[in-house]
Chains A and B, each alone.
Chain A
């Protein structure tokens, strides 16, 4: 149905759209602690926006509450800093109402997996076309250091002085289980890769979930060092590339094979295995995606980074529009007067 609002929104963009990163920096101070991992997501985001070729006013950042929640203030687009755990339903409502917008969601691990857990699984299931960045620092930072649903068992925090008793969520596996069509993982120490991941997330139609390891210097410093620091990460992570064998290691001397359904590390130096024996990554293979996601907390296996799964399913807001259009095509556009009069009326 054509509305006056649509008329207003259809006005062509007046200025230019050849932006630079600077155009997305509002005139405010970034108030995260120096060295906070969140800062490392900001610059790739500001660099990415000009590449999208869409007018700035068509972009909206929606966040929940936590240190991560400040993100929209640092992007000169439309933004909404909402309430704890609820960024996804707000963003879903916005995207369903306004499919023309590019909607980005920023959440912490507590925000998304604890209080917002229900919304997370249902947003994944619906496949709303949202670009979701979850800043995982494995701790609650804004409330000053309690354990979170991604904290590991035994983690000492303010609220677990004797060690956390619960096991963590594996966010990637949870997202896959809930039906997310795009699931990826990156970290704050490699901004180029992060930029590429965010770009992939943008290009993916449907929900894109990007888990981003962001170091919290204050309450959980170094939590991801093994996986992110230049010295160790090659041995402890594996970069997934579609169509490429699963190789890792500082000298790219290790790889992953499948033993039944169980991934196993093999050494390529000893002649027993060659690169041709290795498992090939396929983003479209959901079974493989689960196997990869489940490598996350294994001590023996490298932690997968990059795009774990990217499959296509119609996005929710698109289905909403299609259903409306189908109804209008088959039944004709609704006539308000006959709606008011109803099916059985009588004349007095």
Chain B
């Protein structure tokens, strides 16, 4: 039967199976190939917190979702068009997000009695008609791969390991992706192991051929190249982007980079990346705990390194006392918090924006520091450079908020050239005449920074209150008040040095949607869709959480209503209401899951049409 092809603007595919089924691997391959094919891509790995959850179980499903299209893709997709299911549990778990009429490509091996039982099915969904609302392709992957191998003598075990690649080949047919990039990757990855290469390449082709020959597959979907600006692209996760940003920032500032860190999900990938950058001269310490992590970074900062500590919620709480020390000693330091669902150990692999208030206030005494929040995986890179710039220019610790969602999801990123990136400057005090450790730059209020090794400026710093200018220990009441104000003023002045917030849509009016951090993708998508369907609303995304952009007050006052989605119970809402005395309508989700853009759209449409606050 002749095949037809159909053009789509975008599509979402989800590969799901057991932890050992290689779903993360083919998901990554699919997204890279889609990038090469000229699409915009956004991905999200979604895996259980157990290392190897028992096979076949509902809680053991590991998945990788890829959303790709011709226009800019801001999220990994709300709903799934194509579900690749390696077993029964993956169907059960993912069915709620599969589009009505969506496609299921199922490996029937994973639907035997044992798997059905583990997935808590009493009858086989592939046979019992319960999936009649979907386009189901039940295929024996193993048999097809074996047939494709023909006379070749490949062990059954090895064939079993290529099932994911078969599925990948099939989806490549479906979306007209080229095979060559993946074949090259297979050859490189398994170099020297010819039988493995052979088996995988055959499996990939077998998947593609299966769909091509099988009359059940009638349509190939075409997603045109997007109008990406020309350049060299790569996929990048937020965590990778932060690691890169740190190396680049140090290089730009002509300083050594030091990372002091203790492993914690989902921040650990930054430590992994940095520890592999030895040839860039990077030093790191995997410390005995979070406190040692930040303290070693403070020591390195004191010694003149661009110093960093990375962590997630539980680790951030351990660092609070040392963060106060960094504030008091006015040393530049970057603190990265890749937020996860809390409190306590919470849900380690799930995202939440629950640490904003801790970032803002979670220190004893009044210890303000600039806080930046990354909007997307690629934005993590820019935010990191910006954090370094501010930390060095103002001599202050700076906290970066990311989260498990953007930390682990990926998007294509146009790799910048080193020269095109902004210069970053460290301001060392090199002249001993007139040196005082707490004498300040008039404009930024940054103190003079003399590091050990500079002659004639030997001095002592520490956590005890400092006398203005001299930096000597002081208990003087008036001096303490002055210093508290000075430290605050220094952070406040950063507002003069950061971009103003940008309003998309009408500059004033009825409804403004405000977002921060990783909710950007869903918010932006909802905003664009609503605008396209004629709704009137405006949009602002915040990347600077402390201080806020200088025009924010003005913006908030230009709108009658402000809606603010957050993956918490209203933390930014609380801050804005307190600071600007302006009522904010909070849209909250605390499920350890990111917003779907449709979710936001629905709420915003309600706000617009019913003029009622239905959130």
> Which residues of chain A have a CB within 8 Å of any CB of chain B?
1, 3-5, 8-9, 11, 13-15, 55-60, 62-63, 65, 72-73, 76-83, 86, 88-98, 100-101, 118-119, 122, 320, 323-324, 327-328, 331-334, 336-337, 339-342, 344-348
Chain A's nearest CB lies how many Å from the CB of B250?
Answer: 8
Segment touching A, from B126-134, B452-460, B520-528: B452-460
Chain B residues within 8 Å of A95, by CB: 299
Chain B's nearest CB lies how many Å from the CB of A88?
Answer: 8
A-B CB contact pairs (8 Å), 19 listed: A59-B452, A60-B452, A63-B462, A88-B292, A89-B260, A89-B296, A90-B295, A90-B299, A93-B300, A93-B307, A96-B300, A98-B304, A101-B453, A119-B295, A333-B280, A345-B233, A346-B35, A346-B234, A348-B229
In angstroms, Cα B254 to Cα A119, docked, is 31
Chain A's nearest CB lies how many Å from the CB of B224?
Answer: 13
A339 touches B303 (CB 8 A): no
A82 touches B462 (CB 8 A): yes
Contact of B298 among A4, A93, A98, A122 (CB under 8 A): A93
Chain A minimum-CB-distance residue to B229:
A348
Question: Is B251 an interface residue, CB under 8 A from the partner?
Answer: yes
Q: How many residues of B contact A (CB 8 A)?
A: 76
| A340-B415, A341-B234 as given contacts; A118 in contact with B288, CB under 8 Å | yes
Chain A residues within 8 Å of B416, by CB: 340
Chain B residues within 8 Å of A72, by CB: 460, 462
Chain A's nearest CB lies how many Å from the CB of B162?
Answer: 21
A83 touches B325 (CB 8 A): yes
Question: Is B283 an interface residue, CB under 8 A from the partner?
Answer: yes
Question: Is B287 an interface residue, CB under 8 A from the partner?
Answer: yes
In angstroms, Cα B463 to Cα A133, docked, is 20
Chain B residues within 8 Å of A79, by CB: 458-462
Question: Is B152 an interface residue, CB under 8 A from the partner?
Answer: no
In angstroms, Cα B463 to Cα A324, docked, is 33
Chain A's nearest CB lies how many Å from the CB of B324?
Answer: 8
Chain A's nearest CB lies how many Å from the CB of B132?
Answer: 40
> Which residues of chain B have a CB within 8 Å of any CB of chain A?
32, 35-36, 38, 185, 228-236, 244, 247-248, 251, 254-256, 258, 260, 277-283, 285, 287-289, 291-293, 295-305, 307, 321-322, 325, 329, 414-418, 426, 428, 430, 451-464, 473
Count of CB-CB pairs between chains A and B under 8 Å: 227
Chain A residues within 8 Å of B473, by CB: 73
A337 touches B302 (CB 8 A): no
Chain B residues within 8 Å of A78, by CB: 451-452, 458-460
A3 touches B255 (CB 8 A): yes
Contact of A342 among B415, B428, B453 (CB under 8 A): B415
| A5-B304, A98-B304, A345-B415 as given contacts; A81 in contact with B281, CB under 8 Å | no
Chain B's nearest CB lies how many Å from the CB of A112?
Answer: 14
A348 touches B455 (CB 8 A): no
In angstroms, Cα B322 to Cα A274, docked, is 57
Contact of B464 among A1, A76, A81, A323 (CB under 8 A): A81
Chain A residues within 8 Å of B459, by CB: 78-79
Chain B residues within 8 Å of A344, by CB: 32, 185, 234-235
Chain B residues within 8 Å of A90, by CB: 295-296, 298-299, 302
Q: Contacts A58-B452, A93-B297 known; list 5 others, CB within 8 Å.
A: A3-B255, A5-B426, A57-B452, A89-B295, A336-B280
Interface centre among B297, B418, B428, B453 (most CB of A within 10 A): B453
In angstroms, Cα B281 to Cα A332, docked, is 11
Chain A's nearest CB lies how many Å from the CB of B244?
Answer: 6
Contact of A97 among B300, B321, B325, B460 (CB under 8 A): B300
Contact of A122 among B280, B288, B451 (CB under 8 A): B288
In angstroms, Cα B279 to Cα A323, docked, is 9
B322 touches A94 (CB 8 A): no
In angstroms, Cα B291 to Cα A88, docked, is 11
In angstroms, Cα B251 to Cα A206, docked, is 30
Chain B residues within 8 Å of A348, by CB: 38, 228-233, 414
A80 touches B460 (CB 8 A): yes
Chain A to chain B: the 5 pairs with minimum beta-carbon distance, closest first: A93-B299, A81-B462, A1-B281, A93-B296, A4-B254
Chain A residues within 8 Å of B428, by CB: 5, 8
Chain A minimum-CB-distance residue to B309:
A93
Chain A's nearest CB lies how many Å from the CB of B53?
Answer: 29
Chain B residues within 8 Å of A62, by CB: 299
Chain B residues within 8 Å of A328, by CB: 278-279, 281
A8 touches B292 (CB 8 A): no
In angstroms, Cα B299 to Cα A233, docked, is 39
| A5-B304, A58-B453, A348-B228 as given contacts; A337 in contact with B417, CB under 8 Å | yes
B247 touches A339 (CB 8 A): yes
Chain B's nearest CB lies how many Å from the CB of A53?
Answer: 15
Contact of B322 among A58, A86, A340 (CB under 8 A): A86
Chain B minimum-CB-distance residue to A327:
B278
Chain A's nearest CB lies how many Å from the CB of B282?
Answer: 8
B277 touches A334 (CB 8 A): yes
In angstroms, Cα B277 to Cα A333, docked, is 10
Contact of A334 among B280, B296, B305 (CB under 8 A): B280
| A55-B455, A340-B248 as given contacts; A82 in contact with B231, CB under 8 Å | no
Chain A minimum-CB-distance residue to B321:
A83
Interface centre among A58, A76, A341, A348 (most CB of B within 10 A): A348
Contact of B453 among A57, A73, A86, A320 (CB under 8 A): A57
Chain B minimum-CB-distance residue to A326:
B278
Chain A residues within 8 Å of B293, by CB: 89
B291 touches A89 (CB 8 A): yes
Chain A residues within 8 Å of B300, by CB: 93-94, 96-98
Chain A's nearest CB lies how many Å from the CB of B151?
Answer: 34
Interface centre among A3, A93, A345 (most CB of B within 10 A): A93
In angstroms, Cα B281 to Cα A77, docked, is 28
In angstroms, Cα B458 to Cα A101, docked, is 13
Contact of B415 among A4, A14, A341 (CB under 8 A): A341
B418 touches A336 (CB 8 A): yes
Chain B's nearest CB lies how many Å from the CB of A178?
Answer: 11
Chain B's nearest CB lies how many Å from the CB of A342?
Answer: 4
Chain A residues within 8 Å of B283, by CB: 96-97, 320, 324
Chain B residues within 8 Å of A3, by CB: 254-256
